[in-house]
């Protein structure tokens, strides 16, 4: 059994950091794809962390159910496994090496965005752990790269991009428009935090609102999942709802010891989302 929590830094592992594509980079690539009417496909890597090669010498106990009479031994790992601390990094290094072999260049601005250009053909790949967005203005080249990835790794071809990390993608090829929204994600968090029946409002934060630090523990908020709620709203802000940036910055300053007043302001943000559920980010469009 792999027990990553028993690993010792400097002995069983060294670096663990593995980059993922920033949401800003993903939006930029989607915007460019919309403007130039490029193909946007998605692929998913199966058993992602089993692909990485280990640099350290690591041993593990035999898995339960594995028996061999007269033998008392442990297993030496050559490939990474889930639960190892360095598994995400090992996978990222493996994918990085392969993309460089097929002539992709890693962006200096975002280490999980890769670019290739052959003649007039432009190709972008954005990586978020095991999810890949492939954007290209030549369908034949796109299919070729997908085939090369599938030969190297076990991949699931998801075709045209429709859903990525909770973001829903819609396209209008005729007008070169692309829309992203999180309607499904919002409905999920409404249900999770029992806010699906809240009344809608048009402004997320009253301009006169001034929240102060809660000096005393407010017993009324002991069972309120304040941190989880604010974190869920913050994810929406990072992905598609930049209009939530200021109210989220206000309520997130009181994560450690929120009062009932803070909770009321958070619920107001939910009510604003209820009234703006259909809002979408729009990219592209033909020049007038």
Can you give the pLDDT at residue 221?
A: 64
The pair of structure tokens assigned to 241 is 């709802």
Confidence of residue 139 (pLDDT cuts 50, 70, 90): very high
| Cβ-proximal residues to 108 (8 Å cutoff; 6+ apart), any chain | none
Mean pLDDT of 70-76: 74
Query: Among 64-78, 185-199, 273-287, which stretch is predicted with the lowest mean pLDDT?
Result: 64-78
Residue 11 clears pLDDT 90, i.e. is over it: no
Contact 37, 174 (CB under 8 A): no
For residue 88, pLDDT over 60 is answered with: yes
* Least confident span in 24-33, 204-213, 273-282: 204-213
Average pLDDT of 176-190?
Answer: 94
Q: How confident is the model at residue 105 (pLDDT cuts 50, 70, 90)?
A: very high
Is the model's pLDDT at 263 over the cut of 70? yes
pLDDT, mean over the chain: 89
Please compute the mean of the pLDDT values over residues 160-179 and round it to a whole number: 93
**Is pLDDT above 60 for 68?**
yes
pLDDT at position 252 is 92
The whole-angstrom separation of Cα 280 and Cα 163 is 14
- Range in 69-83, 162-176, 178-192, 224-238 the model is least confident about: 69-83
pTM: 0.87
Higher pLDDT, 91 or 77: 91
pLDDT at residue 73 is higher than 80: no
Pick from 191-200, 202-211, 213-222: least confident: 213-222
Give yes or no for residue 33 having a pLDDT over 80: yes
Reply yes or no on whether the pLDDT at 277 is more than 70: yes
Q: How confident is the model at residue 256 (pLDDT cuts 50, 70, 90)?
A: confident
Whether residue 70 is predicted with pLDDT greater than 60 in this model: the reply is: no
In the structure encoding, which two tokens stand for residue 143, read together?
A: 């299919």
Residue 5 pLDDT exceeds 80:
no
Q: What is the pLDDT of residues 51-64, one digit of tens each?
A: 999 888 888 877 77
For the range 86-89, what are the long-range contacts, defined as Cβ-Cβ under 8 Å and sequence gap of 24 or more? 86/13, 86/14, 86/15, 86/16, 86/52, 86/54, 86/56, 87/49, 87/52, 88/16, 88/18, 88/49, 88/129, 89/15, 89/16, 89/17, 89/18, 89/52
Q: Which domains does the chain have, with CATH numbers?
A: 13-63+73-165 (3.30.70), 183-275 (no CATH)
Distance in angstroms (rounded) separating the CA atoms of residues 200 and 48: 42
**Model pLDDT, residue 131:** 95
Closest by CA to 3, choosing from 73, 76, 82, is: 82
| Whether residue 69 has pLDDT greater than 70 | no
């Amino acid at each position: 059994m792999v027990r990553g929590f028993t690993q010792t830094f400097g002995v069983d592992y060294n670096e663990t950091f593995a980059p993922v594509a920033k949401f800003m980079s993903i939006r930029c690539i989607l915007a460019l794809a919309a403007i130039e009417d490029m193909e946007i496909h998605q692929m998913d890597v199966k058993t992602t962390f089993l692909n990485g090669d280990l640099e350290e010498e690591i041993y593990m106990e035999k898995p339960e159910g594995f028996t061999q009479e007269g033998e008392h031994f442990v297993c030496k790992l050559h490939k990474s496994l889930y639960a190892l601390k360095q598994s995400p990094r090992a996978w990222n290094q493996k994918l990085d090496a392969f993309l460089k072999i097929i002539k992709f260049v890693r962006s200096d601005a975002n280490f999980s965005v890769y670019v290739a250009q052959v003649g007039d053909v432009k190709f972008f790949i954005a990586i978020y752990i095991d999810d890949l967005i492939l954007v290209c203005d030549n369908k034949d080249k796109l299919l070729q790269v997908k085939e090369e990835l599938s030969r190297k790794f076990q991949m699931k071809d998801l075709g045209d991009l429709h859903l990525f990390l909770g973001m829903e993608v819609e396209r209008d090829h005729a007008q070169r428009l692309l829309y992203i929204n999180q309607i499904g994600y919002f409905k999920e968090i409404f249900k999770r935090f029992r806010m699906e029946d809240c009344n809608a409002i048009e402004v997320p934060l009253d301009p006169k609102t001034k929240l102060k630090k809660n000096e005393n523990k407010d017993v009324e908020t002991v069972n309120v999942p304040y941190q989880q709620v604010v974190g869920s709203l913050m994810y929406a802000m990072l992905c598609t709802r930049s209009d939530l940036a200021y109210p989220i910055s206000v309520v997130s300053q009181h994560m450690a010891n929120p009062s009932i007043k803070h909770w009321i302001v958070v619920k107001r943000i939910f009510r604003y989302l209820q009234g703006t559920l259909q809002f979408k980010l729009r990219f592209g469009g033909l020049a007038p």
